[in-house]
Amino acid sequence: MSNNWWEIHVLCEPILEDLVFWRLDKFGCQGTASERQGESLSMRAYFPQDLARSLDLAALSLWLRQDALAVEMPLPMTQWKLIDEEDWGSTWKKYWQAQEVGDRFLIYPVWLTPPENSDRAIIRIDPGAAFGTGTHPTTQLCLEALEMRVWGEEKEEIAIADIGCGSGILSIGAILIGAKQAYAVDTDAMAIKSTEVNRDLNQIDAQQLIAQKGSIDRILSLAGGQVDGIVCNILAEVIIEMIPQMTEITKPKGWGILSGILLDQAKPIADRLEEEGWIVATLWRQGEWCCFNVRRS
């Protein structure tokens, strides 16, 4: 096995982050990190040398450009270089630092020692390759919305469904601030593994956060009935197709937190929610992204 890694560097418009992440994940990258550089977004991904050649990376660069063209956005710039194992470890970790989110959460990468005394719920995260490390606006919006829905008295019995759980950060956050149960599903087996790893890091019982491969149609059987709330941070195109099923799996007085939605995608989703008997309580935004906080009417 090679001890060298490809470091792939993509410079793109921030609005393309989800699309670039999806492409890098499909390519098989084993870890991604992103940070803002002025008005642009700098994304780095890592891939073992023995699993890809320069020709493969050139094809990846072309796919990224085609993806941007398909949504009529400026083309990203892609570069790559070889780094050794030790450099990979230090490069990867320097992009992830502790981060406060909302009023209640503090996200800590697993290699950092969390503070002993904090009035925030500390979420330990091993980023891996799954989406949901707390740096993306959509993840932050969802965590902030969870504070409003879950935190407080007489809410201990809340059970949630986490659709497209990624790293499991939303399920973990919900349980740490008071939810009794979380059912997490994702179509990517790597995401389920990541959720389980992060669940254990946060010392949450496996029966309190159940993660299984699949989609929204798995929730009723996992939960044995309807849930109190849904968190869903995936692509808007997928969310709009799932709205009827969201109604089926949620209690009559249930609620939902939906993100992964760009501002210009908000109206068709709001219209579809209304058709299915949902009320948009609030619409929060961060940059070009928004988060629906909804409830059944």
Nearest one of 248, 259, 252, 254 to 221, comparing CA atoms: 248
Structure confidence at residue 10 (pLDDT): 94
Q: Is residue 9 within 8 Å of 42, Cβ to Cβ?
A: yes
Runs of H (alpha helix) within the chain: 17-27, 54-70, 85-94, 137-150, 169-176, 189-201, 219-223, 236-249, 266-275
Structure confidence at residue 287 (pLDDT): 80
128-296: same fold as 4-94? no
Superfamily of the domain at 4-94? ACT domain (3.30.70.260)
Superfamily of the domain at 128-296? Vaccinia Virus protein VP39 (3.40.50.150)
Task: Give me the residue spans of the domains in the chain.
Answer: 4-94, 128-296
Structure confidence at residue 132 (pLDDT): 65
Structure confidence at residue 1 (pLDDT): 42
How many beta carbons lie within 10 A of that of residue 43, not counting itself?
A: 24
pTM of the model: 0.75
Q: Is residue 253 within 8 Å of 295, Cβ to Cβ?
A: yes
Question: What are the tokens at 204?
Answer: 């949450």
Structure confidence at residue 17 (pLDDT): 86
In the block, which residue shows the tokens 């992103």? 34
How many beta carbons lie within 10 A of that of residue 262, not counting itself?
A: 17
The per-residue pLDDT string of the chain (297 residues; one tens digit each, 9 = 90 and over) reads: 446 888 899 999 988 988 898 888 888 887 777 778 888 889 888 888 877 777 788 888 999 999 999 889 999 999 988 887 666 556 656 667 788 999 999 998 887 888 888 899 999 988 655 566 777 888 999 999 999 999 864 555 899 999 999 889 999 999 999 999 999 999 988 889 889 999 999 999 999 999 999 999 999 999 999 999 999 998 888 999 999 999 999 999 999 999 988 888 999 999 999 999 999 999 999 888 899 999 998
How many beta carbons lie within 10 A of that of residue 223, not counting itself?
A: 18
